[in-house]
Structure 1
Amino acid sequence: MEVVQYIVKEDEKSGRIDKIVSGIEKEWSRTLVQQWIKEGHVKVNDSAVKSNYKCAIGDVLTITIPEPEELDVEPEDMNLDIRYEDQDVVVVNKPKGMVVHPAPGHYSGTLVNGLMHECKDLSGINGVLRPGIVHRIDKDTSGLLMVAKNDLSHEKLVNQLVAKTVTRRYTAIVHGVIPHDHGTIDAPIGRDTKDRQSMTVVDNGKNAVTHFKVLDRYKDFSLVECELETGRTHQIRVHMKYIGFPLAGDPKYGPRKTLDLNGQALHAGVLGFIHPRTDEYMEFTAELPEEMNQLISQLEKSR
């Protein structure tokens, strides 16, 4: 293990230790440093401290850089649809039916397995099973995801998600004919106490906001575009059900009688963010999958 020592300077007096340490090396993100502090890899005058410790002039900081943890997840050649890649970021168009990252007992066939084959470097902030993963989309939702190739990019992309500056627009087919052309659903989402595998709108849930507009109307169905302001688990699926227009094909939140689509008709078609290195806004578009195009053609004929 590499050990780095640093003496706190006068202009750093009363500064938080996590901020000071993350400023020593460009690649040491604040999130990574906080993890090191929590694990006891950062000490002040040979004593362990917390991330909010305020440093004094002359404090000796000892940083023991842990060896990178080897991934237990095997790379797999999955012929991923990568729409953009550079030294910091990958944008990938995930197909329907693919899980984003491995979970205990399920280590193969995920997007992460494919990314590890395509990309030699992925950020380690989310640990061994989720390298590079900044945000997720459900297994049966297709579309665009941004992936971080280093910790600094990861932190900057997450900060954009927190600041609600990332553009995320989805196309969905829902049950029912929505009478109004557009709207905003502002309803907190939390775990369903009756079904721990499901989310629902609850008073004490986390803030969740979805904007939608109707693109087309058919007999008994509507084609909508949903834009996320927040990114809660199953947010679009829960919100559209909440206002009475659940997603077609959704086995969890849809009606008992729905279309047999092997999962919800939902596609993450537009993704935009500020590049973590260049500060340039970038936006990507992924066309609808063939299955959704075929369904739309069928619905158009039924009008």
Structure 2
Amino acid sequence: MSDHRSLPVPDGLEGDRLDAAIARLFGLSRTRAAELIAAGDVLVDGDPAGKSDRVHGGAWLEVVLPPPPSAPTPRPEPVPGLRIVHEDADIIVVDKPVGVVAHPTGGWTGPSVLEGLLASGVQLTTSGAAERQGIVHRLDANTTGLMVLAKSETAYTVLKRAFKERTVDKRYHTLVQGHPDPLRGTVDAPIDRHPAGDGRWAVVAGGRPSVTHYDTLEAFRAASLLEIRLETGRTHQIRVHMAALRHPCVGDHLYGADPTIAERLGVSRQWLHAVRLGFEHPTEHRPVEFASDYPDDLAKAVDQLRED
């Protein structure tokens, strides 16, 4: 079912192209926004407009949005390399391999943590949408490391609140290009969808508050190994904030990394690993902490830098 939206153009989009404004407002790609405009599904002050027309703050937009793609129903699907680190009656902690998303989505045809656990016979809480049962936080497909999922209704409620209230200790290690200055610091910069509407996220005025703490563990000739502590958990947060510092994660071509460095180190994705996860157990009310070693591709890259 189509979604009809009517709203004024925010002053912050004054002077933007119509296709860019539509993409920004509704989280679409520029191409998809242009298709809606060409189909006559976008009116500005009651009249059709061209995709390159400039918008003005306060102009009245009427947009007919297509229905979102429905997320596929999770089905048991074994996931090679998905390791269970801890399991009890309420929670399950896994070490996620590369190339695996947290849960099925409309645009993803590869494996997911959720389907891998279903294939292992794990029963997760049914709280939340069917395709996201038990999911209380996520890792990018090509980010490896620790994830916790809820098996009971109580655990789901308590863990969702803990992530929202920032009481979960999330630690990552990342290899970035160059040497951050200072060697230890905090990036406090809001994040929202990139204005290009191409799937990237960016530091954007008026975006969602996002805070990343970093500390240099080891410095190499052309790269640094950092420990990251996240206060918030925005999509691509570490990748966006490191790119904003002009020290993108090695191998993260989406955010401007130098492909020659990644190629020399044999890294075919962003060097980013969720290395530790600590929180209060949702029903036993005791602190628990879990750790994960680097997978082979990331470990080899660091070993090579040390040899160099």
TM-score normalised by the shorter chain: which range applies? 0.7 to 0.9
1:191 to partner: Cα distance: 0.8
Structure 1 counterpart SS, 2:130: coil
Contact 1:74/1:108, CA 8 A, preserved across alignment: no
Contact 1:171/1:266, CA 8 A, preserved across alignment: yes
Bigger mean CA offset, 88-97 vs 149-158: 149-158
Q: AA paired with 1:298?
A: Q
1:183 to partner: Cα distance: 0.5
Per the alignment, residue 60 of structure 1 pairs with none
Contact 1:144/1:268, CA 8 A, preserved across alignment: yes
Per the alignment, residue 167 of structure 1 pairs with 169
Give unmatched runs, 5+ long, in structure 2.
1-71
Q: 1:103 to 1:237 in 2, by over 3 A?
A: same
Per the alignment, residue 245 of structure 1 pairs with 247
Q: AA paired with 1:288?
A: Y
**Aligned counterparts of 1:108 and 1:150: Cα–Cα separation in 2:** 27
Q: 1:105 to 1:267 in 2, by over 3 A?
A: closer
Give unmatched runs, 5+ long, in structure 1.
1-70
**Aligned counterparts of 2:114 and 2:272: Cα–Cα separation in 1:** 21
Per the alignment, residue 263 of structure 1 pairs with 269
1:180 to partner: Cα distance: 2.6
**Aligned counterparts of 1:255 and 1:108: Cα–Cα separation in 2:** 25
Aligned residues: 232
Q: Percent identity?
A: 38
Per the alignment, residue 94 of structure 1 pairs with 96
Q: 1:107 to 1:151 in 2, by over 3 A?
A: farther
1:120 to partner: Cα distance: 3.6
Q: 1:284 to 1:88 in 2, by over 3 A?
A: same
Per the alignment, residue 300 of structure 2 pairs with 294
1:99 to partner: Cα distance: 1.6
Higher Cα Rg: structure 1 or 2?
Answer: 1
Per the alignment, residue 288 of structure 2 pairs with 282
RMSD in angstroms over aligned alpha carbons?
Answer: 1.6
Q: 1:105 to 1:188 in 2, by over 3 A?
A: closer
Contact 2:177/2:223, CA 8 A, preserved across alignment: yes
Contact 2:99/2:111, CA 8 A, preserved across alignment: no
Give me the TM-score of the superposition, normalised by structure 2: 0.72
1:193 to partner: Cα distance: 1.1
Bigger mean CA offset, 178-187 vs 151-160: 178-187
1:125 to partner: Cα distance: 2.3
Per the alignment, residue 145 of structure 2 pairs with 143
Q: Deviations over 1:151-199 (max 9, x none)?
A: 2211100100111110100000000122433101100101111134110
Per the alignment, residue 183 of structure 1 pairs with 185
Q: AA paired with 1:170?
A: Y
1:293 to partner: Cα distance: 1.2
Per the alignment, residue 73 of structure 2 pairs with 72
1:130 to partner: Cα distance: 1.4
Higher helix proportion (structure 1 or 2): 2
**Aligned counterparts of 1:301 and 1:112: Cα–Cα separation in 2:** 39
